[in-house]
Structure 1
């Protein structure tokens, strides 16, 4: 007999949880719309070749593929070692690759600078664990057609505004630039062919520390002189002075002679975000070892941090080269994705229901016409209303209604025209 449980790594969402999720989504969507972004929708499946074009990093290995229609047993056996011959479609593993295809397909109907909202489920064949699912929701905003630092600043201001509106004030953004990483690795002496593996190891710095990073780089067979230079840089003497985000903070975190143009780009983002946030402290922190694993990032990269947790709540970056693969000409693009599943767990409980949500408790002898008349009258006032037949355990019924977001109840008896609404708590 088939199990009644959902597929491993996926979940059923109960009514109270669904209401909470929709409330959080509505706040995020409202703030993004307020900042001038427009919502779009793309299919949940994309062509196999697009999802496996070498731009999705390790996520390409986690894609769910759709078997081609019409394959018989012999065809499947003959193509067993060729996934591209077995599958022509796949479930999207993020929203960025579909967005790039969407823009290339619909560019003639879009403005020169297009600001998009995309909210939807994505699928990855992850190893399920706490907080990591195989189906989860992403909330993305992206700007295409703007290669200036204004685009990054707009994304950060809008995302921080959404997080503030959810009651999670105090968030900051860790920021770096892939071009800075390339320059640093070059200055330490890492060869170009080594860098993908080196970046994977550097990305573990927060978890395994300088000793662990140096040891793993040596195990990978990275150039010894480059590892020595990198390790010496990590262990260099540093003063404990505080520097707010700006040129001084950035240059103190990098080797000498960092590229002027890239530093100026990052400083410009900070100044624009500060102006957009209308506060004296810039909510940005430069992190020269922020990597972000997606293979399509070409410039600025960033992650959303909050002091209540030790993991990121979202992130993104610039991916100027992706759309060109579909369109045949380069289009600058940058995006920010909020980690919806993590945000939902942090947001405080709120009024997930209407201002009033009333349960109408009735006996079996109350005419249906009267029940529906009472219910319709309540709905007409802007309340939410539900009919519940009286049970022997009335207390349990009311407790369940309260847990589902209802605020009051009324007892309905036959022939009574006026209802007395009592609070549930």
Structure 2
């Protein structure tokens, strides 16, 4: 009998049976990773924002990263609606391709939903701030991301113009404390814009389309606005009136004169002038002007609207306004609300360009380890420093002292503590200042106090 042995076939695991595409290590388009230096700089900025908002009497709101789709839909206009990141139904319903949730587009609408839900637990007038990420399915570009942070302030329950003033002053103060060099607040009113539409003969059903086109004036110019107005099928008289004003030698003066020819428009400009007159004397790092061209595209604005523009750039770094009717989408009655949001990502980029950023990634004080026997002493010293409020870390690299000093320098530590055999025998440590190279001896018990004095 002849026994035939089949050829040997190496075993393949289920994972090996499929060709696996090597994943890209870069983050998805429109999102970012942050190394310690960048993350620390951002944390410092957010901490400053929070401290200023708190000093102005605002308290934090927190809402989920995602909302029911119906909560967000219909709040941001036709263009904004397209940018909502929708979440498909889960489990067996996933195959339908339908969505029932969405990542939050901004912080304002979720905050309004929370206010309506918990209104009975809140005071009559609420000053709220919120800092957190939002998501938009936008085309990424410089300063424009699909995932980014917003820093918002809002006043719920006050129709007083002083609430609008307070919001503007809070946002302005953040920029001043952060050291942003120069900004201009452009202020207008939706009442003024409605007056402009009426004076130009724009039908009410076409108001939003005309305002969206006007809102792009700074970016696309007169020709671009002209194309968009004609595409919106506005009456010829209305298009001609708007374009004539934009093409005049002084577009702002021409638009203002046309707005003042309408009673509602005149009242809107007067309200904006009043707010500007209250804010202007209190600004330290910027200026404010009423700009009849400013439109802002979001549907929910009802009164004063504003944008902050950095002096060294055309992009908006903050924006907001009054949206008294938004509450009626969640409640039976309307509630007066005004607020604003910092374009914090653009602000961070401007700050990095202006002042640079190299925050230390390590602790203030670095404690070396002479050898394995001395590890316990080093840990005790680190614990004593931390107990005194000194940021301290113990060496984890090992090796010679010169190598440990190099690691301390790489990590940006300001002070290094060494306890070699001589220091240990005397019950002392050597404390070295990394920038100057100066060093001194101190008792081990007194080392935390000496370090605290050096880092003042």
- Using the size of structure 2 for normalisation, the TM-score is 0.80
Encode CA deviations 1:211-244: one digit per residue, 9 max, x unaligned: 332243224432222111112222335499xxxx
The change in CA–CA distance for 1:320 and 1:57 in structure 2 (over 3 A counts) is farther
Between the aligned partners of 1:384 and 1:333, the Cα distance in structure 2 is 43
Structure 1 position 8 matched with structure 2 position 29: yes
Structure 1 position 373 matched with structure 2 position 384: no
Higher RCO (CA-CA < 8 Å; seq separation 6+): 1
Look up the match of 1:29.
Answer: 50
1:194-205 matched pairs, under 5 angstroms:
194-205=206-217
The change in CA–CA distance for 1:366 and 1:181 in structure 2 (over 3 A counts) is farther
Q: CA deviation at 1:95?
A: 0.2
Structure 1 position 95 matched with structure 2 position 107: yes
Q: 1:296 aligns with which of 287, 295, 300?
A: 300
The change in CA–CA distance for 1:96 and 1:292 in structure 2 (over 3 A counts) is same
Encode CA deviations 1:357-389: one digit per residue, 9 max, x unaligned: 122343553533112112122223332112232
Structure 1 stretches lacking a partner, 5+ long: 81-85, 241-247
Q: 2:407 aligns with which of 393, 397, 407?
A: 397
Encode CA deviations 1:329-368: one digit per residue, 9 max, x unaligned: 1101111101111111222357956997122343553533
Encode CA deviations 1:95-136: one digit per residue, 9 max, x unaligned: 011011010011111111111011111111222222211111
Tell me, what secondary structure is at the counterpart of 1:115? strand
Contact 1:141 1:335 in 2 (8 A): yes
Look up the match of 2:193.
Answer: 181
Q: CA deviation at 1:87?
A: 2.1
Contact 1:359 1:401 in 2 (8 A): no
The change in CA–CA distance for 1:133 and 1:412 in structure 2 (over 3 A counts) is farther
Between the aligned partners of 1:4 and 1:104, the Cα distance in structure 2 is 42
Tell me, what secondary structure is at the counterpart of 2:366? strand
Q: 1:156 aligns with which of 145, 168, 192?
A: 168
Contact 2:132 2:150 in 1 (8 A): yes
Aligned-CA RMSD value? 2.9
Between the aligned partners of 2:286 and 2:367, the Cα distance in structure 1 is 52
Q: CA deviation at 1:52?
A: 1.2
Between the aligned partners of 1:72 and 1:156, the Cα distance in structure 2 is 46
Q: 1:267 aligns with which of 270, 273, 277?
A: 273
The change in CA–CA distance for 1:212 and 1:380 in structure 2 (over 3 A counts) is same
Between the aligned partners of 1:214 and 1:146, the Cα distance in structure 2 is 38
Between the aligned partners of 1:353 and 1:401, the Cα distance in structure 2 is 6
Structure 1 position 228 matched with structure 2 position 240: yes
Q: CA deviation at 1:72?
A: 4.9
Look up the match of 1:104.
Answer: 116
Between the aligned partners of 2:349 and 2:216, the Cα distance in structure 1 is 25
Between the aligned partners of 2:213 and 2:331, the Cα distance in structure 1 is 34
Contact 2:52 2:170 in 1 (8 A): yes
The change in CA–CA distance for 1:6 and 1:70 in structure 2 (over 3 A counts) is same
Between the aligned partners of 1:132 and 1:235, the Cα distance in structure 2 is 30
Tell me, what secondary structure is at the counterpart of 1:7? coil
Encode CA deviations 1:301-346: one digit per residue, 9 max, x unaligned: 1011221222111111111111111111110111110111111122
Contact 2:409 2:434 in 1 (8 A): no
Look up the match of 2:414.
Answer: 407
Between the aligned partners of 1:24 and 1:205, the Cα distance in structure 2 is 31
Look up the match of 2:434.
Answer: 423
Moved more, 30-39 or 354-363: 354-363
Q: CA deviation at 1:253?
A: 8.0
Encode CA deviations 1:279-320: one digit per residue, 9 max, x unaligned: 7x9821111121212221111110112212221111111111
Contact 1:356 1:408 in 2 (8 A): no
Q: CA deviation at 1:18?
A: 1.3
Number of matched pairs: 404
Please tell me whether Structure 1 or Structure 2 has the larger radius of gyration of its CA atoms.
2
Contact 1:117 1:142 in 2 (8 A): yes
